Amino acid sequence: MIDGRLDDAATRPWLQIQAERMPGATAVVCETGQRLSFAELAAGARSVARRLLAADVGRDSRLALLLRPSPRFVELVHAAQHVGAVIIPLNDRLHQRELSAQLEHADPACLVYDDEHAELAGALAARQGHIRAVHAYRGWQDLPAAPGPLPERLVLPQLHSVIYTSGTTGSPKGVMLTNGNHLASATASMARIGCTRHDCWLSVLPLYHVGGLSILLRAALGGMGVVVHARFEARAANRAIHEQGVTIVSLVPTMLARMLDDAEGRPYPSTLRCALLGGGPAPPQLQERARQAGLPVFPTYGLTETASQVCTATADDAVRHGGSAGRSVDGVDLRIAGPDPEGWGDILIRGPQVTPGYFRDPRLTSRTIVGGWLHTGDLGRVDADGRLWVAGRRDDVIITGGEKVVPDEVEAVLTAHPQVVDAAVFAQRDAIWGQRVAAAVVLELGAALDASQLEVWCRRLLAGFKVPRHFDFVAALPRTASGKLRRYRLRDPGPDVLQN
């Protein structure tokens, strides 16, 4: 709860609440410098909401978004909440074939696009046949505005969004998230970080990802400003932090590394009090670099299925217990199922943040959510003080000669080498041992390092069975737009295995 004033957030659209309480406060700042107050943003959202209703996009209708982050994108997110429509933010980095499959599965009533995606949107709409494609700006003005008052009642069990996962396992699925899921996640996140209406959040994560979308919703709930960048660019992100009063930023490890490289030792301002770091484990030396630069790192663990954060460590806790994702946020129960003698097992989660299931996939839902507990597929342990330690996907664990190898442990050793920028550890089939440990490694530009030298480095710090038997030196690792490693593409590489 922010400033003790979220009592009506369970029953009314969140942006409208802030427009009434603090109409002149800045809600959104764009890269162009354009600023919108809460009153201006809410007026835009209400105008869009009226046009949605006129286009028969109302309660339970699905609204696909294929446009770059912009004020109109933010307006659509809040307009949908006004009318009870379900937003489906699409990943514009996917192939047309993949997007078409998602649209066929989601069956939206309307697809909203912008100039950058006009050709792609036209092809997708033509392929689906019955989907109405509307330009986010020019086409929108041609739609009539529905007369009469807008719906003002928010229903917590109502679906707010269906987010198709980034596909780290190779099989994207539509995660359903309700208004209640987002409300529980946002309030718990803001309480852990200590947000107030004086905060300003820098958004550089994709808005089709739950990490990016959740920033917009937290900002509306907490009365915070948000600086929205259409794409991540390290220099632009650093400039915003120094010049636009940013106090909080959400990042994945690759983004943080690029920002530190761009900063070239220049310290970050004391006004930046939190760098929320998720999307996968961050090498300890990367976190230390950030702290030395005056950038407080808050490691976090979350999933699309939990509307973002589940556990978050404060900056102080991250220093004292490096490698931990911290304690669970308010309302979340953690359980480790089937732990081994060292306490490692499957991470299970229960709480109001947890998705009701997967869109049009009851079989997957029943397999994943059992007795109210979400089976994450991640491997972890909880220490005596309640801190979560995550070792990655259970499917990623390598069994070689009967010994268990957790890729994250080996990757941490590899990236600790001063000439290694990034690394991914994966299994290769082996006729004798069943599986063997292999690694794909990205070196610093101009580095002269070979496999034998890396093997020596690993043997100094790892048990022999954990040392990679094969090294691939690559230009980049296959990651999603949110920075998560597509490890499956290394285990079974295709022609574009090195594409980021």
In 3D space, the residue among 296, 305, 232 whose CA is nearest the CA of residue 267 turns out to be 296
* CATH, residue 119: 3.40.50.980
Q: Give domain status of residue 70, yes or no.
A: yes
Assess whether 38 and 114 both reside in one domain: yes
Assess whether 243 and 349 both reside in one domain: yes
For 313-338, the three-class secondary structure string (H helix, E strand, C coil) is: CCHHHHHHCCCCCEEECCCCEEEEEC
Q: Give domain status of residue 440, yes or no.
A: yes
Q: What integer pLDDT is reported at residue 482 of this predicted model?
A: 66
Count CB atoms within 10 A of the CB of residue 65. 25
User: How far apart, in whole angstroms, are the C-alpha atoms of residue 154 and residue 194?
Assistant: 26
- Give the C-alpha distances (Å, rounded to integers) separating 68 from 423, 437, 439: 30, 40, 35
Q: Where does residue 301 fall: left (phi above 0), alpha (psi -120 to 50 degrees), or beta otherwise?
A: beta
Assess whether 324 and 414 both reside in one domain: no
Q: C-alpha angle with apex 87: 84 to 90, nearest 5 degrees?
A: 175
Q: Give domain status of residue 2, yes or no.
A: no
Q: Give domain status of residue 348, yes or no.
A: yes
Q: Give domain status of residue 307, yes or no.
A: yes
Q: Give domain status of residue 312, yes or no.
A: yes
**pLDDT tens column, 316-325:** 999 999 889 9
Q: What integer pLDDT is reported at residue 112 of this predicted model?
A: 95
In 3D space, the residue among 327, 10, 65, 385 whose CA is nearest the CA of residue 192 turns out to be 327
Assess whether 267 and 401 both reside in one domain: no
Assess whether 344 and 403 both reside in one domain: no
Assess whether 341 and 375 both reside in one domain: yes
Last residue of a domain, one of 347, 370, 394: 394
Last residue of a domain, one of 352, 370, 394: 394
- The identity of residue 444, as a single letter, is E
Assess whether 77 and 226 both reside in one domain: no
Residue with tokens 């049009």: 360
- Give this prediction's pTM: 0.85
Q: Give domain status of residue 447, yes or no.
A: yes
Assess whether 371 and 426 both reside in one domain: no
Q: What DSSP letter does each residue of 480-498 carry, written as one string?
A: -TTS-B-THHHHS--TTTT
**pLDDT tens column, 128-164:** 878 889 999 887 777 788 887 888 889 999 999 999 9
Q: What integer pLDDT is reported at residue 250 of this predicted model?
A: 97
Assess whether 441 and 307 both reside in one domain: no
- Give the C-alpha distances (Å, rounded to integers) separating 102 from 30, 241, 461: 29, 36, 45
- The identity of residue 167, as a single letter, is G
* CATH, residue 478: 3.30.300.30
Assess whether 380 and 405 both reside in one domain: no
Q: Which residues of the chain have pLDDT under 50?
A: 1-4, 167-170, 492-500
User: How far apart, in whole angstroms, are the C-alpha atoms of residue 117 and residue 457?
Assistant: 47
Residue 109 and residue 56 in contact, taking contact as beta carbons nearer than 8 Å: yes
Assess whether 243 and 351 both reside in one domain: yes
Q: What integer pLDDT is reported at residue 496 of this predicted model?
A: 30
Containing 241, the helix (H) or strand (E) segment is: helix 234-243
Assess whether 143 and 208 both reside in one domain: no
Residue 429 and residue 399 in contact, taking contact as beta carbons nearer than 8 Å: no
Q: Give domain status of residue 390, yes or no.
A: yes
Q: What integer pLDDT is reported at residue 39 of this predicted model?
A: 98
Last residue of a domain, one of 106, 127, 154: 154
Q: Residue 125: helix, strand or coil by DSSP? A: helix
Pairing of strands 132-135, 308-312: unpaired
Q: Which residues contact 421 (CB under 8 A, 6 or more apart)?
A: 257, 415, 442, 443, 444
Containing 285, the helix (H) or strand (E) segment is: helix 284-292
Task: Count the domains in the chain.
Answer: 3
264 is in which domain, residue-wise? 189-394
Count CB atoms within 10 A of the CB of residue 226. 21
Q: How far apart are the first and last CA of the chain?
A: 38
Residue 23 and residue 37 in contact, taking contact as beta carbons nearer than 8 Å: yes
- Give the C-alpha distances (Å, rounded to integers) separating 107 from 88, 304, 336, 343, 360: 10, 21, 37, 43, 11
* CATH, residue 199: 3.40.50.12780
* Backbone φ and ψ of 146, nearest 5°: -65, 135
Residue with tokens 């915003």: 240
